[in-house]
Structure 1
Amino acid sequence: MARLLFRLTHVPDDEAMDVRQLLDDNGIHYYETDAGRWRVGVDAIWLSDEAQYEHAKALLGEYQQQRTKDQQATYAELEARGEAPTLAKKIAAHPIRFMAQVIAIVFILAISIVPFWYAFS
C-alpha cells in the first residue's frame, strides 16, 4: 500500500526539487500525484514501498531542519541589510492592487451591513 510522505501544496519549486533529489540519491522509490484540473486531488510525493517510509521520513526531517536554518539565516541577512519584506514595502510595490483590495473590502462590508442598518433604524 502506498504511503504519503510529503505534501507539495504551497511548496516552493526549489524545495520540491530538493526533496526529489534527496529521495533519488538515497534510492527511495516514490511517485507523485497532482490535484488535477479541479484541485480535488492531492499534490504529494508517495512511497510505493512502505518499508522505506521510516528511512525516508528521517532523511526528510534532517533536510527540513537544515532548510529551516538556511532560510532563517537568509532572512536575518536580508533584515540586516534592510531588504526584508515588510507590509509597507509590499504596499509600496503594488499600491493600485492594495487600493483595489481596500475598496473591495469596504464594498463587501457595506453590502453586508447596510440592510441591517435600515432594518433596525
Structure 2
Amino acid sequence: MRGALAAVNRSLLATARPPSSPPTSATLGRPHRRALYPRQGVAAAPSAAASASVAMATDPSSHANFGDVRVTRAAFELDVDFGRRVLEGFVTLTAAVEAEAGAAELVLDSRDLHVTGVWHINGPDETKLE
C-alpha cells in the first residue's frame, strides 16, 4: 500500500471495512478516550524522547520505508470478533518525512490484511488513494 507524501506532516487513514459514510478529519482526527487514559496496569507508550533515543532496527522481511518516513502517531478504532478471529475498523496514521530522506511516498507492510480503502487527509482536504 503506497500513499504520496507531498509535505512533511500528513495523515493517512486505512480501513478494513467500508465506512457507512466517507470518513472526515472531524470524525477521525481525535484519539479515542482510552488512548489518552490507559487502563490501570496497561503500560503507556514511551515518550517521544525515549523513542528518539532508541536506534531504528532494520527488518529484512519488511518492505516498509520506515527509515525514510516515520509514523509519529497512530490512533486505532477497532472492533474485535473473537469468534472469527478478526479485527475490523480504522487506523489513522500521522507520518513525518525524515529530512535527509526526502521520501515521496509512505510504504506500509500489509501482509495478511484486507485493506478496503486508504484516504489522504490534510486538514479539511481528503483524497481517497487508489
Q: TM-score surpassing 0.5?
A: no
**Which is higher, the Rg of structure 1 or of structure 2?**
1
- TM-score norm. by structure 1 comes to 0.25
Higher strand share: 2
Which of the pair is proportionally richer in helix?
1
Pick 1 or 2: higher relative contact order, CA cutoff 8 A, min separation 6: 2
